[in-house]
Amino acid sequence: MPSYDFPQDLRDAQLALHQTRAACEQYARTLPWSAEPMPGWESDKQLHSGYRSAKPDSPGYTDEQREQMAQLRSELLELSIAVTTHPYWKGLSGPDAVAARMALKHAHEQPTAADTAL
């Protein structure tokens, strides 16, 4: 697997994107199933399994929950733009660019030259 010399600001932006996405997903799991107040429901029993899916009534998001989700989504958008439009990508094209973008997603798992110098 080729190694890439990603600039530190690109590595930092990618790591922040990972962390923000994880925080957003974790926060979303604590929220009601619907952003708007909705009545609960129960489906018909499945033919062969007998499984019956159901959802309780959803009170919808509070104003604070709505604001928090909007903030997290805004941060995700900003970080996504920072990573995908970074000047580093101008030097790569085709399969090299795809391989480099995939490698960047795991760059935080690899020690940097600065880390190994310590």
pLDDT (tens digit, 9 = 90+) per residue, 49-85? 888 889 999 999 999 999 999 999 999 999 999 999 9
Give the whole-angstrom CA distance, residue 92 versus residue 62. Answer: 45
Between residues 93 and 75, the one the model is more confident about: 75
Residue with token string 């940097």 = 112
pTM above 0.95, yes or no: no
Task: Tell me the average pLDDT across 91-115.
Answer: 83
Domain layout of the chain by residue ranges: 8-112
**Which residues contact residue 42 at a Cβ distance below 8 angstroms, ignoring those fewer than 6 apart?**
52, 53, 54, 55
> Residue 116 is inside which H or E element, if any?
helix 113-117
Q: Are 65 and 37 contacting, i.e. CB atoms less than 8 angstroms apart?
A: no
> Residue 100 is inside which H or E element, if any?
helix 94-104
Give the whole-angstrom CA distance, residue 70 versus residue 62. Answer: 12
Give the whole-angstrom CA distance, residue 33 versus residue 61. Answer: 9
